[in-house]
Every structure is written in C-alpha cells, then in structure tokens.
Structure 1
Amino acid sequence: MTSHWPQPPATYALVQPRQAEARCGRFELAFSRHGARTHLGRQFVCYPFHMTRPFALDRAIPSLLTVYQQSSSGGLYRDDRLTSRYELGAGAAAHITTQAATVVHDCHGQPAHQVTEIVLEENAFLAVTPDPLVLFPGASSSSTLRARLAPGAVLLLSDAFTCHDPEGRLRSFDRLGSDVSIRDAAGRLLVRDNLEVSGADIAGPASPIGGWKVVSNFMLLGDPTRLPAAEALVALNDMASAIVGVSALANGAGFGLRCLAADAIAARSIGESLFELAVAAAFGIQPVPRRK
C-alpha cells in the first residue's frame, strides 16, 4: 500500500523522547503525647508511600505507637526522590518500621534518593527500624538523615542492606551511600556517620565482608540514663550466625553498632534484640514482638 500522507521535510527535527520524571514521594508524621498515650496528629502520605493506621501493640507501654511504612510501587527505582519526616512532641513515643525488605532496582546510573528528617522534643522516644534494602544488579541508592534531639530524648536508627541477583549470575549493585547527622536541640553537631560503597568493593573472593550476607548499621542515641548498658549491647555478639561490633559515639551521644549476619534471619534477630533492649531501657518494660 502506498501512503499519500505528506512526508516531513529533510530539515524536520525529530522529537526526542521525554525522559521519565522523578517520583517525589512524601511520608510525614507528627506525634504528640496526651495523658498516657501517644496520638498521631498531622500527617501527609503520598505515592509511592502508603500507611494504614498506627498500632498500639504494647498494652503495658500505652505511649508507644507502631507505624508500618508501606510502599505500593514494588521498590526503589532510578532517580526516585523520597522524603520522610518525623516530629515527636514532649514525651511521645513511636516505632517506625516497614512491612518487608525494600528492593532497589537497576537505576541505570541515576541513584534513588531518600531523605529523612527527625525532630524529637524532651523525653521523646523514636525507633526507625526498616527492613534491609535488597540491592539488585545496577542498583544505586543514596540516603540522607538529619536528626535533632532535645534533652531526655532517645533515638534508635537501623540501616541494613543485602545483595541479590534474580538471574543468579552474581552481578553486583552499583553504589550505596548514606550520610547521617545527629544534633542537639541547639543545633550542635554530636555525630556524623558516612558510608560509601560500590558493588565492586564487596564482590568476589577478596570481599572485606567475606561470606556474610547482610550488613547492618545501628545507632542508639540520646539520654544515657535511658539507654542500655554497654555490656548488654556487647552480649548481642553471642550469636554464632552474626558478629557485632559496639562503639561509644563521640560527645557521649550513645552507641554505634556494626553487624555482619549470615542471613536475613540472623540479621532480623539482632535488630529485634536491639529494639527490645532500647525499649526496655527507656520504659522499663519489654515490648511485644512486631509481626511482619
């Protein structure tokens, strides 16, 4: 068949395909204490984030709410720009976790960016314990966390990753970076922690992490009278399928822990044990297990 549509002139400029716009998701929650209980007040949640409702899982600790930060997108993708913000009023307490591990897909040289801002007022308690990132081949992720702690506040942070090639070809991720800054209520810098690693750095027989599968970093910060004893943290190293290193942080800010685990089960056990220690030290009561 012969087309009779007029042909474009030779000088006609072809339209270049428009690049996909970055996804800009927000997950912002503000908690306040009313009597013995913590309540969720101001909130803003948009795609790809999702939240159902907060859960009061600990009857013996009515001030502690648990929130599951969920995703409806299937993971992190190239050039994602996702922000989270948590504000806790005086005496409020919250636990932010995820429903499962988060897959970071091939980012094609455009890292996914996550920014978290935290503000804790006097005697507030916050645990932010997401499940690990699962870094697919070509994955690239950059995270920034900024926190301010008023006197008496306690903050537990967890950050973990593992690698996986769905095709079983042992391909590595691209890059992973994180930048954590902790300040007091006056804005004085207490601790800054940076991580920058490439997949090539930990691939192969000469890998600095050896045969360990999950890498976890924790910070337990705040009022020393509401933190576990160093001996209790060192005792976490008794598990045969994981190794844990504990360090006192600068400026008496708290403790930093590094963990290498043989598998996701061992990594979760260490994280759950640390959460239990943090809650027991802050409230004098063991928390109930969190279901996933």
Structure 2
Amino acid sequence: MIPLDAAPELAPYLDEPAQLPGGAPGKVGLLRLAFEQRGGRTVLADLFRQAPLLVQRALHWDAAMPEMACVFVISTSGGTLQGDRYRIDVSLGAGAWAHVTTQAANKIQAMDANYATQLQRISLAEDAYLEFLPEPTIPYRHSRFVSHTAVSLPTSATVLYADILLPGRKHHRDGEVFRYDLYSCTVRAARPGGPGLFVEKYVVEPARFGVDRRGVLDDLHVFGNAVLLTSAARARRVAEQVPPVWDPDVPLVAGVSRLPNDAGLSYKVLGRETEPVRARIQEFCAVARAVTVGRGAPSVFAWR
C-alpha cells in the first residue's frame, strides 16, 4: 500500500506546523480492535489504544442482534488537528459480529500548515459480519484530510461501511460551505491473499475545482457513501430492494450500483441537509442487514 503521506494531492501541504511537526508524539493515534466469537456471542478479545483514539469496552446493546459486540471510537482531543496521523485496525474472527461507530462527528479543525491522515485496515474471517458506521465528517475552513480504508474479506463475510461528508459548518459565522482545502477518501477491498476487488477514490478540492457546479454537486451539500461487501447473491437481493430516488422537494437523490468482481454494492446519496441523507443511508443499512444476516435494524439506530 502506498503511504498516505505520498498521496499526490498532499504536495501543496508539506510544511510543518509551528507547534509540533506532523506525526510527533501526541499526534499519532493508534487503535487495534480484534473481535472473536465466544460462547454464542462476540467479544472484544484484543484492544490496543493510544491517545487521542480511545475505546473503553464492547457493549451488547443492539436488541435485534444481542450477540453482536458494539464499540464506540472516542477522540480525547477537540477534533482532528493539523499534523495528526491516525491508524485504526479492526479484525474479526470466524463467525464474529461487530458494530463500530464513533461517539460524535469527526471535526477536521482549521489548518494553517500540513494536513491530517487516517488509515483504516479491516480484516474479516469466514462468516464474519461488520458494520463500520462512523458519525459524519465535518471539514472546517482550510482543513486538509486524507483517509484510506483497506478491507480484506472472504466471500462468506460481509462488511457494511458508510460515511457522510458535510460541506463544513454551514451556519458558523458567515458560513463555511466548501471552504475546506482538501478532502480525499479511498476505499479498497481484496480477498485474503488474493486479487484486489475494487478501488474507489474521490478527491475534493473546492478552491481548485468548484463542486457547486452542475454535473458535480450543484446546489446539494451533503454526500453519503455506503459500501456493502458481500456475496454476489446477497448483493443482488439488496439491490432489488433499493430503488433509485429523485426527490426535488427535499431535495435528495440516491442510487445503488454494483461493484466490480462481484464485490458487492455501492450506494450514493446527495442531499441539501444532513438528516435526509442520514435517513437514506440508514434505510440502505437496514435492508443490507436483513438480507445478509436475517436480522432487523434496532428501534433506535446507531446514528441517532
């Protein structure tokens, strides 16, 4: 894997902060989560954490899936800062079920030097099931953030991954809609020890290439991106239950597409405000869960 610091879009932001250089002690957040099935339910068998990333313990609060371990990733800082380098490793043993989310939105703080990165590595064994559903990302004015998520799973396992990107703090002072410098997101998947399945990357640089144009986002501000990695048969059943949406009154558009190499599905949602986009992502996740593991969504979903 190419190091995140080598991403070409970071070339204009290689200057170091005046306070602490990038990746200095206190700016490297590490988190390792390993889940295993024991005694009919999933437990957090291994945990390593280094501030500002923190997980306290696994809970079993999902009434629809009481066997599933649920964890909240907590940040002990005031958000993601310039020079921060985060890494999160998540692994699931055979038959393990886990839900990973965050305690609040990921606030990418304003930056006057350097950038922040987050690397996520996800590995599943046979028949494992993972919901990786963090709260939305809010990039502040002049922030620069690069994330890379790499997933390895066999055909019998399922990963449900989603993120929501906001345009900034819309109602802060004079507004921060698309005032950030850079947001780059890459998601890739592969079979264990085998070929790659797909790579999806989008780079948003509002000052260089305006996104509020027709053919890009136009007058829509919130982008929801969900990826379902599962068997071809299950993906087909999910796609049949998720029709495209065009609602000019909200406004909101959404649609599902098939990923290459029978990897699964990609579901994209665009809207003016956060909650309608969140609701569509939740609906997609509920259908995906019902098809892949035969369980309903909880009455109060992880995204409140």
Shift of 1:207: 7.9
| 186-195 or 60-69, larger mean C-alpha shift | 60-69
Among 60, 70, 85, the alignment partner of 1:66 is 70
Alignment of 1:1-292 (within 5 A): 19-21=19-21, 22=23, 23-165=27-169, 166-170=172-176, 172-200=179-207, 201-202=209-210, 208-227=216-235, 228-234=237-243, 240-288=250-298, 289-291=300-302, 292=304
The structure-2 alpha-carbon separation of the partners of 1:79 and 1:207, relative to structure 1 and needing over 3 Å to count, comes to farther
Q: Is the 8 A contact 1:109 1:140 kept in 2?
A: no
The structure-2 alpha-carbon separation of the partners of 1:170 and 1:114, relative to structure 1 and needing over 3 Å to count, comes to closer
Shift of 1:285: 1.7
Q: Runs of 5+ in structure 1 lacking a partner?
A: 1-16
Q: Is the 8 A contact 2:238 2:287 kept in 1?
A: no
Shift of 1:236: 6.1
Shift of 1:176: 0.8
Q: Secondary structure at the match of 1:119?
A: strand
The structure-2 alpha-carbon separation of the partners of 1:290 and 1:55, relative to structure 1 and needing over 3 Å to count, comes to farther
Shift of 1:63: 2.8
**1:227-254: CA deviations, max 9, x gaps?**
4421212256679442112111100111
The residue type equivalent to 2:20 in the other structure is A
| 1:11 alignment counterpart | none
Whole-angstrom distance in 2 between the partners of 1:189 and 1:169: 41
Shift of 1:27: 1.4
Q: Runs of 5+ in structure 2 lacking a partner?
A: 1-16
The structure-2 alpha-carbon separation of the partners of 1:34 and 1:235, relative to structure 1 and needing over 3 Å to count, comes to farther
Q: Secondary structure at the match of 1:233?
A: coil
Q: Secondary structure at the match of 2:166?
A: strand
| 2:12 alignment counterpart | none
Shift of 1:188: 0.9
Aligned residue pairs total 276
The structure-2 alpha-carbon separation of the partners of 1:85 and 1:237, relative to structure 1 and needing over 3 Å to count, comes to farther
